[in-house]
Structures are given as structure tokens and as C-alpha cells.
Structure 1
């Protein structure tokens, strides 16, 4: 009988980064997480994960910030693969090759994108045939942003972010992302700063804003810009003051909006047009405010299998 190890071919999956158009943080829950209300948008910066049958479990990482990504059992893509294997009754090992373009520890869910890509790639390699709902259920066990990385597009996230529902959104939005020139920010550290800042405050349960929903239905960047919001922005800036300088400079160069992406430190800059995004990127780098910028549009699709390369 032919085993999966002998017959399966490698599968490569591409998964997108995200930006939180809105991130409202509620009180700390008994499980240690915070209740969230967020609106995700998937943007055209991607990581790729290739799953290949192997004699033992393993992971390798190349591309942007590769040296900052663990390749041991703590790697989120490998966690995802092993979780799926257990969920489906045990599978033969795979080696995961991760190629990164999404900044590490930048508030753009690069690790979650890798996990989502690994789930989809391993599902294909093993032929487990799980549907989207089943994969999303597994994804939610791995991390708060992983279900959205599977789905993509624009969506509301609730719970700790893992409960995802699509949002009616029109238009294409033009983004410039400014990754941190220094080290990334630890998400737990940013949430601890949020808790410290709000100690003794009655933090309400978060709800999505009607203003943002309306702006997304309009499809106009000029209507979206004034309603973008992030409860964690003051805490990210307190931990890395240079973030505030980038935001101020981007607005001075004509951005419609500039704000912290997720828990930071990446700054998301919204431009009115594709040409405007190019001008902003040039201004930010030429001025010395940013050593590195990335341009992208959104929304884009979630994790998807790439066609096999032709020999």
C-alpha cells in the first residue's frame, strides 16, 4: 500500500497580512484574554508556506526577518500542522518551508498568516478534506487572528478576535506600511500597558461602530479615514515613541490617516489613490522618517493554494 509519504506532493499556500481598521478592547476576561471588537482587512503583503511530506516534523524560515522567527516546536505554522494532525486522527510528518514578507512582531499577524497557510497546505497534502468551518474551528484553537487569515477580505472579529463574520465593503484601499526600524512589539506587553493605563477604569464591552460600517459601504477612502480607531495606539506609542513621530510625519506628507496596526509597531498609512501611496512612500523614506516602507492594497483574499510550479 502506498503511503502519503510516498505519494503526496508539496503544496504551497499564500496567506495575507492584516490591518485592524478598528480595534476596541474590552475588560480582561477570566481566561486572561481581552474581549475585542475589531474590523480586519486583509492586505496584499503575503507569507508563503510549503508543506512537504517528510520523515520527521520540521520547519525552516526564509525571507524578511527570518532570523527572528523560531523554527522549533513554538513556530506557529508547525503548531498549526500538528494541531490539524491530531484533530484528524494522526498524520505522517511534514516539513514546512515558510517564506516571509510580512514583518515579524509588527501587528500585521504574520505568525497567524503562517498558521493559516500551514492548515490549508497540510489539509491538501494529507487529503483530510476539512471544510472551511472545520478549518476555522481548528484555526481558533491556535490564535486569535488565524481564522481571519483563512478568510481574508474585510470582516468583523469578536470574542478575542477569533469569531469572524464578513462585512459588506466596497472599494479598493491604498496603504503604505511603515515597519519598525527597531525591534517589534510584544503583543502581551502592549496589552499589559493597556491594563495599567486603564487600572481602576470601568472598561465597557466593545462594540463595532456604525460609522465604520457606513464608511466601508461607501467605498470611499476619504470617508473611512476619519473613523479608523485603535484602543492600543497610546500604549504602543508609550512603549515605542518613534511610532508617534512616524504618524505625525505621514499626516504632514498628506496621508488621509495614519495609525498603529494592531498592537504595533507597524504604522498603517491610508492614501487617497495609488499615486498618493507612491508619493507618501517616497516622502517617508526620503525624509529619513522611515528606513523601510511597504505598499499594498486591500482587501485581498485569505489563504489560498498556489498552482503547482510547472517543470
Structure 2
């Protein structure tokens, strides 16, 4: 669905995928005689061909592109930047928290490896957790593509061009939304997806402190409720026509999921790994990094809200329901 106004044209590029995401979306925006790309899909010929075709169908060339705006650093949002940056020296805007991974910063990657190795020990993940931390570290250390050659501009301001920049961390620490006030539409990255809830993932700060991802995610949803835009254009799935209502539903779903974790803890399941194995017996090993960081975000949330307490015994965290 292409959106037109007097000074703005929004051209969605939606690539169907066979997994739960349904599609990977990115957007060409012409506004006040400038041309922007918000997010950039996956670095694959399918995405590149769709992008070039969309430009051509609307009378543009690649050289017409003035800037790229990234909602966050995940590979299904930045992929084509590697190709575009090799051809054009145009600014690429991203929040500073996304830069260490995109640039393959060795010091940050090692700090992150040590951070997760320690966490996985405390969550009682044993040798498997350590092996997974090492696997992810090696993969990131040996990534062939980095953003070193990009013309990066850090998003540390409230506006860029005509877009209001809204920091919406939780799913990723660097996630931002781009809001066009006159159109009352927001490009919301992965904060909201129409057909499914989005996970919040624990990450370290630049200094190795643990971010409280679910608390951040909740605050980001509350920002959308307060903004109450007419439309949200998501990184996946369909256009969201009532974003504030969906955000409220997602907050309710978070509370329900937190209660399920609390119920398991009340039954005596006390360590992080045991809780995840109980909830995801197959996914625990298949997508360990995803489910363990999601679970930790809920455990942090329950602890911060006073619903649970934790005690460290022989280097392992044990959770119990708080006495009220």
C-alpha cells in the first residue's frame, strides 16, 4: 500500500518469509524532494532486486537516495546497507547502541561474551550455556560484513530531517521509531507487529551492566500509547491501524506471561535454565540465545516489581516468590 500526500510518498517493500514473521518490510520515502530508505531488509538478491524494482517503478534511481535511517541493528533491518554503502557515500543514521555489533568492535564483543558467559552460569545453563556464549562470540568476531566503511551518523538527537526520533529500546537497545507528525504515522521497527508479540532481549550496556530489557520494552509501548499515531509501519507483517490499542494489548500480554513465570516459580522451579526448559523443552537447545534472554528479561521484571526474590547459591541464582 503506497501512501501519498502533497509532500510525501511512502513506498513499502514487503518480502514474504515462511517463518512466524510473515514478511520483512522496509520503506522508501520521498519527502520534500528528498529520498530516504527506512531499514534495509536482508543482504540477499531477493531484497536487492525488490528494492531496485520499487525505485524504478516510481521513477527513481539509486543515486537519488539521500540517506538511510535504521530502526535498529538486527540483520533483517540493515542488510542492503552493505550494498548501498559500497555504491553511494550517503549518511546512514543509527542509534549509538547499534554501532559496536555492526562495526564488529572486538573490545565490545569480548565484553559481551564475558557478560553472557557469567549470566549463563548464574542461570544454571552449565557447559551448554558456555558453549553457546562462545559460539555466538566467534560468529560475531568472524562476521565478514561490518559497518566500518559506512558513512555513519549517530542518532543522538530528537529529529532527523523531518522525522521525530523516538528511542524505543527493549527488543534491541538501539531501537528507535521515526514519526511524521503531519501524517501521524510512525515507522516503529519491531516494537509492534500486528500478528504476534515481540520479545525483549537482555543485553549489556557499553560498560557491561545488564539492561532491564522488559522494563524498557514496556516503557516503549507506553510511548506509543501516549503518541497515539494513526498508523504504525512495522518491520514485519501488515500496517497497524490502531497502534495504541495494540500496544495496550501487548502490555496486558506481558503481565499474563509474567504471571506464568511466577506460577512456575511458586511451584518450586527455581533456576533460569529450569524455567526455560519447562516452558520451551524443544526450543531450549534449538534457539537457546533467544529464549534464555527473553526469560531473563521477565525474571528481572518480576524481581524489580517485588514479585520474586533471588538468592545466589554456589554461583547460581535461585528464584522464589516474595512473601506478601
Higher helix share: 2
TM > 0.5: no
User: TM-score interval w.r.t. the shorter chain?
Assistant: under 0.3
Q: Which has the higher strand share?
A: 1
**What is the TM-score normalised by the length of structure 2?**
0.24
